[in-house]
Amino acid sequence: GFAATEVLYNEAGAVIGVATGDMGIERNGEPGPNYTRGMELLGKYVLIGEGVRGSLAKQLIAKFDLQKDREPQKFGIGIKELWQVKPENHRPGLVQHSFGWPLGMKTGGGSFLYHLEDNLVAVGFVVHLNYKNPYLYPFEEFQRFKTHPAIRGTFEGGKRLSYGARAITEGGYQSVPKLTFPGGALIGCSAGLVNVPRIKGSHNAVLSGMLAAERIAAAIASGRSHDEVVEIENEWRQGDIGKDLKRVRNVKPLWSKFGTAVGVALGGLDMWTNTLFGFSFFGTLKHGKTDAQSLEPAANHKPIAYPKPDGVLTFDRLSSVFLSNTNHEEDQPVHLKVKDMALQKRSEHDIYAGPSTRYCPAGVYEWVEKDGEETFVINAQNCVHCKTCDIKDPNQNINWVPPQGGEGPVYPNM
């Protein structure tokens, strides 16, 4: 029921805790009748495990310059549905993965399909957020993926139960920020520890929590507090997390540089040489641009025509958001902060043709004509907290901050 919205520092500049947000602030920013102040939660050390692109981690990375001398973090947007399928289409334990289609060879991404228990199938599609074409529509790519002849049969006669979306980190070994700062450390997806070819990060998230807990327990036992536990930063690359990520460090940059067909093959070769000989022909490749910088002006690209949803196998965004159980009190300040509205119009709309209206998997953003003016409308109550807008806006003009309380999507079975 609480979101940490603020980092607390002592006079020396070390982190000493977090504060939860105030509740009951009305849309106009004024305290309403149910107004309650947030609480300060203090500790000798603070571990930040907020998931991908956390709002506190983002502030800490900037304040302590933790990304210095590292490659930019890279991301993908993963969109997922849970289906109940007909028993004859269910094969418990079956796992399927694919690359490419319907994305084409120049945009990175792929799918997963897991047959779970009780005739349940989880299906999802990840689009790498370094895509260039602002007309690309990740949600529609996912819907189209389900229509592939090798896939659609699984869902025929089935029922969609849930929907969700979340960004994932993809930068890997060379993008992990410095993990420690005075008074705490980043762990899990705040640190960006996903192994991209394994599509897996929970193992490293657990290991990073264990490493931090052990080193911090030892620091507290020796009477320390609020200092920098540099042991965490100094040790993770030599440990299991570092070994796991180092072997696969070139897969994402090769995929980005050479496209799906050649890049994935080269990535496979690179993983072989790294695993067998501890050696890479490529050294450690760079990612270069951020995902926001990768987007190109609309004039360089053609709009993409996506088929209309059939309401059986493919759906629209709003009926999908309904299945995410997303809930926000409407009478509160909008939690998606556009820093400069004139820039949004001048650039996001005029130059990039409004990519937020497509990359958002919840249909939060719209450009609507009002009084003869194109106006940016933010349907914040639909937000499923995936963080894609915070990552992909070409001008980094959208800042995601936590809404009040523990609001957002509820994923009981995802």
Nearest approach in angstroms of CB 139 to ligand SF4 is 10
Q: Which of 336, 338, 353, 414 binds ligand SF4 (CB under 6 A)?
A: 336
Nearer to ligand SF4, 51 or 297 (CB): 51
Is residue 384 at the binding interface for ligand SF4, with CB under 6 A as the rule?
Answer: yes
Is residue 328 at the binding interface for ligand SF4, with CB under 6 A as the rule?
Answer: no
Is residue 136 at the binding interface for ligand SF4, with CB under 6 A as the rule?
Answer: no
Q: Which of 16, 189, 232, 360 binds ligand SF4 (CB under 6 A)?
A: 360
Is residue 364 at the binding interface for ligand SF4, with CB under 6 A as the rule?
Answer: yes
Is residue 385 at the binding interface for ligand SF4, with CB under 6 A as the rule?
Answer: yes
* 14 closest CA partner among 232, 229, 228: 228
* Integer CA distances (angstroms), 347 to 296, 358, 388, in order: 11, 16, 18
Q: Which of 383, 402, 407, 414 binds ligand SF4 (CB under 6 A)?
A: 383
Nearest approach in angstroms of CB 155 to ligand SF4 is 24
Nearest approach in angstroms of CB 392 to ligand SF4 is 8
Burial 336-366 (b: 16+ CB within 10 A, else e): bebeeeeebbebbbebbbbbbbbbbbbbbbe
Q: Which two tokens stand for residue 323?
A: 């299945």
Is residue 387 at the binding interface for ligand SF4, with CB under 6 A as the rule?
Answer: yes
Q: Which of 55, 162, 174, 388 binds ligand SF4 (CB under 6 A)?
A: 388
Is residue 168 at the binding interface for ligand SF4, with CB under 6 A as the rule?
Answer: no
Q: How far is CA 68 from the centre of its chain?
A: 21
Cα gap 156→68, rounded to integer Å: 50
Is residue 216 at the binding interface for ligand SF4, with CB under 6 A as the rule?
Answer: no
* 166 closest CA partner among 194, 208, 207, 134: 194
Nearest approach in angstroms of CB 208 to ligand SF4 is 24
Burial 141-162 (b: 16+ CB within 10 A, else e): bbbbbbeeeebeebbeebebbb
Cα gap 102→143, rounded to integer Å: 10
If DSSP codes are grouped into helix, strand and coil, which group holds residue 97? Answer: strand
Nearer to ligand SF4, 253 or 402 (CB): 402
Nearest approach in angstroms of CB 335 to ligand SF4 is 9
Q: Which of 376, 386, 403, 404 binds ligand SF4 (CB under 6 A)?
A: 386
Candidates 12-20, 106-114, 122-130, 380-388; binding stretch for ligand SF4 (CB under 6 A)? 380-388
Cα gap 411→414, rounded to integer Å: 5
Nearer to ligand SF4, 179 or 364 (CB): 364
CB 348, CB 371: distance < 8 Å: no
Burial 260-298 (b: 16+ CB within 10 A, else e): beebbebbeebbeebeeeeebebeebebeebbbebbeeb
Q: Which of 4, 389, 402, 404 binds ligand SF4 (CB under 6 A)?
A: 389
Residues that bind ligand SF4 (CB under 6 A): 336, 360-362, 364, 383-389, 400
